[in-house]
Structure 1
Amino acid sequence: MSATDSSPTWVLAHAARTPDAPALDSPWTRLNYRRLAEALRALAGHLRASGVAPGDKVLIALPLGSAGAVAGLAVQALGACAVELDRETGASSVDAILAQTQARHAFIFGQDARKWAGKPGLGHLYVIHSTRPPERMLQALSPATCTWVQEDGALDPDAPVTPLSALPEVKSDAHAAIVYTSGSTGTPRGVIQTFGNIAANTRSIVEYLGLSSRDRAHLVLPLHYCYGKSVLQTHLLVGGSVFLDPRFMYPQVVLEAMAEERSTGFAGVPLTFELLRRQAGAEALSKLRLRYATQAGGGMSPDTIQWTREALYPAELYVMYGQTEATARLSYLPPTRAAEKAGSIGVPIPGVELRVVGDDGVPLSSGETGNLVARGANVTPGYLGAPEETATILRDGWLWTGDLAWKDADGFIFLVGRAKEILKIGGHRVSPAELEHQLARHAAVREVAVVGVPDALGGEAACAVVVIQEGATVKEDELRRFCREALPAHKVPKHVVFTDALPRGPSGKVLKAELRTRYSSVGSS
């Protein structure tokens, strides 16, 4: 692969053809394709002068905004590898990631200066700031060499700059990004995404969403999350634009901005749409001009899916499924089949094969539950520095997703749940998702997660952790009776506990491991 099929080259091509077209905007900055190209060339030139070479890993720990997007583009323009992290990543995890990646350069936010001071191996820090950094920040970051970068990704005027004139040739299997997830051993696990992975997945998503230069995405998801990054990449490929909006803690403000910016696309995880459902006013929703909305990052309750389709109409809702190990996306449910195939994650995206197989890898017949496996140019070559973990997910050219599923006669796929989360109760295999969907239908239930806990009689029991609607009252026995109306006895949760909120990770996914630990003794009394 040449350098002609990567995010930086897409930007440069649009800058040459449509320089004044909007590219990256936020509540504080506006970048058309000309300015975006100038910023990434300047920053890439400075990175090269600072010693960044093709293949080097560069950390980026920034809030959602133009600077983070420009930083990622500049790193990849050199054929180097962007390692984007949540700013809230703990100190011990950061140390482990530095050891794994051997990164010598990092982009950090000015407010986080003390956290990054003295990190081993980091010789050059690029610090994003809105005003001239105070003396105490300079002292904290010493003795590292610092370059100051503005909120729009532009270098400070004082910084010596020789802009990158030409992009190097990049092989398709070169590392473009490392995306960190929580590993089974408790140490961070870095998913490798190559330039070829990203190009393949980006082009596939563009195809089934029908994206064009007229599209403008309103992005509230972080760029260190592969779903959020894919929104940016797809719109840069087609010459569209993205409005980066980190204010989703105020949904009404975001809705107003979506209307003002005339955004045509919106992406969210289940929690995103749950918050909109609770807080969005009908008047604000009526002003939107969305063409499409996408949802991934876990299963969403049927009621919220229905609300989203009605509230955002005439926008089409694409329910999608993917994994970081697949560079974002594996399947989508065509909106025209949504009613007919309710509950399905849909069909493979263009260029991807999906199979349901037994433990021996042999494909199963329609209706049989087995392991969901995937194959395509978007599938990762593995985990950074972790050959044993890589071998558990990549077998004979197929990615074993860790999910159980079945396929209907039309080829539509239905998830049963994570293989490691399937409960074994009285000899039965029980999917937590099935219990969650039933409980979510109760009028008093706002959110629910079902996990397995040790049973006092031996084995495992289902524990439903429930957040109730504001002002509602409901008891454990009532919810268990509600489950018995639709589920066999062995699937009714033995325990129902109530909490104010479910613990979630940066992408909005419920942290079920934390719930299992928190309620592990619920059945011991």
Structure 2
Amino acid sequence: MFRTADPESIKDHTLYIDAISGRKRSFVEFRERIYDAATALSAPPSQGGLGIDGANGEIVGIYSHNCLDYIVLVHALLVITTPISLLSAYATPFELAHAMRTSKVTRLFVQASHYSKALKAAEEVGLPVDRIYVLEGHHDSKKNVQDLIDDVQRSGAPRVAVKPATRDTLAYLVFSSGTSGLPKAVMISHGNIWTTLTASAVTKQTEDKFMNAVPPPSPPIWLLFLPFYHTYGVHMACFRNFISASTYVVVPKWDIELVLRSIQRFAVQVLPLIPSAMHQLVNHELTTKTDLSSIVHVHSGAAYLPPVLAKKMKSFVHNTPLVFEGYGMSEQTLSAARIPIPGMFGTETKVGSVGVLIPGMEARILRPDGSDADVDEPGELWVKGGNVALGYFGNEKATKETFIDGWLRTGDTFKADKDGWLYLKLDSFVDRAKDTLKVSGAQVSPTEIEDCIRAHPDKLVVDVCVAGVSGGRTSDEKNPRAWIVLSDSGRQLGLEKTIGILDQWTRQNLSSYKWLRGGYELVDQIPKSPTGKVLRRVLQDKYEQTATRAKL
């Protein structure tokens, strides 16, 4: 990324801008800060460093909203081949402890305002307080990235060399629920990053030849509010930007008013979005009052984009003839398919398709019996390529179920036409979503919410089922709803009081996007199959039928 043969991409230019302060960091400044930070992390304590060494099993967690030094820290750790655990900035101490325990974090960098929550989680998992550092800003006497750099520079420690990595060297862990269950730590390797970047570079070169839209000036200005602890965000912020020279305006977290102000203030030209954010943008009163004329490209990812929403977005951004979208998941590092530029393969864009395979990918569509489906016949999509993750960290069972002989079972139902265009069977995708929900572009595990409810110390329920119901902002976004069977303690308190206690408990221990906005419902028993599997669909269908009758 920093030793490219393309002279255009190594010319110094403004690489990052802090959306709030306006602070800028050039390409050269950023590159130098990476090597300074890498030295501060890995130099021995005798030279003022932290002595971090991935070869000794070190894994460094990052618990923060977006900021400039988040990106520096990611790259510095890649330089010294020390794996990173990308932890949700919205995690409660309860969630954070689970993630830290799952990813075996040995050091933790946190946002200053998150320190107290991080300390609670660290105490629970046994992480010593002297292994917690601040990313940017200050908290009491804790050192931040700049302090650590100052320490090694005062000691005169020589800069560390880049440590070698192979294709299978672990680069980072990102949390995903995969096709079911609790969030799992997906293992992304240095080779996965390399493959994804190469595919993106080839795609960009090809697309540039077929672009009908006015190309943005060089370097184009992007807006980044996507969380860096998610697959989409970390690639946009840390990796994708080194394919060609670009400038990135960094927004700490989603704030629609700040996003709109930043678009106008910095004349943003490229806007990566998720469908739920796009939905808010096209429906917000300030959008019509904001100058969006600078925007040339709009990208969408992380969830299914309804065509009607894409069409409405285009009506606001007149310079954009299409919204770039595709299909991906964390287990594919970033993506497996992308909609090509019209005319690129002798065809126009096909409505309802997620596109064609990206360079380097293979795919199969399998019937339930394991045989290959025919053209236009639906089946489960399996993909294979250098961007398929190594597996799930510390979870051999889930790895064996999902990663088979180099193939990744996506759990999603697709069909492919004679030209190789892929179509996601949305109703089947939503059916799978009974085990993994998409809320604001983030994965939500019903099992995690159920476990939280069961963990209440007063044991107010004997059984619980959580599933998604209608009411989200887009067609594939569902609101989590809980069906509960009360215990004796719960019955004594009464339904209303029990629900109030449980709701307060989940809000204390779960991130806001996991809250039960779909409500609670008392049932006599949770329907299950003869083998004991919870039949979420039975409860979902009954709820939707009742809701439909109520509307009528």
TM-score by length of 1: 0.73
Distance 1:468 1:191, change over 3 A: closer
Q: Which amino acid is 2:41 matched to?
A: L
Gaps of 5+ in 1: 1-6, 139-145, 424-430, 433-450, 452-461, 470-502
Q: Residue deviations 1:63-86, cap 9 Å, x none?
A: 111021111111111011111111
Give the aligned partner of residue 29 of structure 2: 35
Matches within 5 A, 1:159-308: 160=154, 162=157, 164-182=159-177, 187-210=182-205, 214-232=219-237, 233-246=239-252, 248-251=254-257, 253-279=258-284, 280-288=286-294, 290-308=295-313
1:397-476 equivalences under 5 Å are 397-417=406-426, 421-422=430-431, 465-466=470-471
Name the structure, 1 or 2, with higher relative contact order (CA <8 Å, separation 6+): 2
Structure 1 residue 45: Cα displacement: 1.0
Q: Does 1:350 align with 2:345?
A: no
Instruction: Supply the AA of the counterpart residue of 2:145.
Output: V
**In the aligned structure 2, how far is the partner of 1:468 from the partner of 1:389?**
31
Aligned residue among 106, 109, 131 for 1:124:
131
User: For 1:147, what is the secondary structure of its paired residue?
Assistant: coil
- Hey, what's the Cα distance between the residues in 1 that align with 2:149 and 2:134? 10
When residues 341 and 379 of structure 1 are mapped into structure 2, their CA distance, relative to the original with a 3 A threshold, is same
SS of the equivalent of 2:351 reads coil
- Hey, which of these two has a bigger chunk of helix by percent? 2
Alpha-carbon displacement from aligned partner over 1:382-434 (angstroms, at most 9, x marks no partner): 000111111111123211101001111221111114757538xxxxxxx99xx
> C-alpha distance in 1, partners of 2:299/2:235?
12
Q: Secondary structure at the match of 2:290?
A: helix
Checking the alignment, whether the CA contact within 8 Å between 2:112 and 2:135 is kept in structure 1 is: yes
Q: Deviations over 1:483-510 (max 9, x none)?
A: xxxxxxxxxxxxxxxxxxxx9x989899
Match of 1:25 in 2: 17
Cα pair distance change 1:507/1:358, threshold 3 Å: farther
- 1:236 deviates by 2.4
Structure 2 CA distance for aligned equivalents of residues 41 and 463 of structure 1? 46
Structure 2 gap ranges (5+): 44-49, 209-216, 435-445, 447-466, 475-506, 521-535, 547-552
Alignment-mate amino acid for residue 61 of structure 2? L
Say whether the 8 Å CA contact 1:42–1:163 is kept in structure 2: no
Query: What pairs with 1:99-178 in structure 2 (closer than 5 Å)?
Result: 99-117=101-119, 118=123, 119-122=125-128, 123-130=130-137, 132-134=138-140, 138=141, 146-149=142-145, 155=148, 157=150, 160=154, 162=157, 164-178=159-173
Pairing partner for 1:45 from 28, 39, 45: 39
- Whole-Å Cα distance in 1 between the matches of residues 428 and 289 of structure 2? 43
2:61/2:87 contact within 8 Å kept: yes
Contact 1:78–1:167 (CA under 8 A) maintained in structure 2? yes
CA contact (8 A) 2:92 2:117 kept: no
Deviation at 1:262, TM superposition (A): 3.3
Q: Residue 410 of structure 1: SS of its match in structure 2? A: coil
Alpha-carbon shift at residue 326 of structure 1 (Å): 0.3
How well do the aligned residues superpose, as a CA RMSD in angstroms? 3.9
How big is the shift at 1:242? 1.6
CA distance in 2, matches of 1:16, 1:411: 33
For 2:530, the equivalent position in structure 1 comes to none
Residues 25, 244 of structure 1: 8 Å contact kept: yes
Letter aligned with residue 375 of structure 1 = K
Q: Deviations over 1:81-112 (max 9, x none)?
A: 11111122233343333334332211101112
Q: Which moved more, 1:373-382 or 1:262-271?
A: 262-271
- TM-score, length-scaled by structure 2: 0.69
Quote the offset at 1:293 in angstroms: 1.5
In the alignment, the residues of structure 1 paired with residue 204 and residue 107 of structure 2 have an alpha-carbon distance, to the nearest angstrom, of: 36
- Matched position secondary structure for 1:238: coil
Give, as a single letter, the amino acid of the residue that structure 1 aligns with 2:197: T
Q: 1:200 is paired with a residue of what secondary structure?
A: helix
SS at match of 1:422: helix
Aligned residue pairs total: 435
- 1:313, distance to aligned residue in structure 2 (A): 2.9
- For the 8 Å contact 1:296–1:319, the answer to whether it is kept is yes
> Cα gap change, 1:384/1:79 in structure 2, threshold over 3 Å: closer, same or farther?
same
Displacement, 1:362?
Answer: 2.8
Partner of 2:330: 324
Assess if the C-alpha contact under 8 Å between 1:96 and 1:188 holds in 2: no
Quick one: distance in 2 between partners of 1:208 and 1:276? 28
Deviation, 1:305, is: 1.0
Out of 362, 373, 390, the position equivalent to 2:382 is 373
C-alpha distance 219-87 of structure 1, shift in aligned 2 (>3 A): same
User: For residues 465-497 of structure 1, what are the alpha-carbon distances to aligned partners after superposition, in whole Å with 9 as ceiling and x for unaligned?
Assistant: 23699xxxxxxxxxxxxxxxxxxxxxxxxxxxx
> Larger deviation: 231-240 or 327-336?
231-240
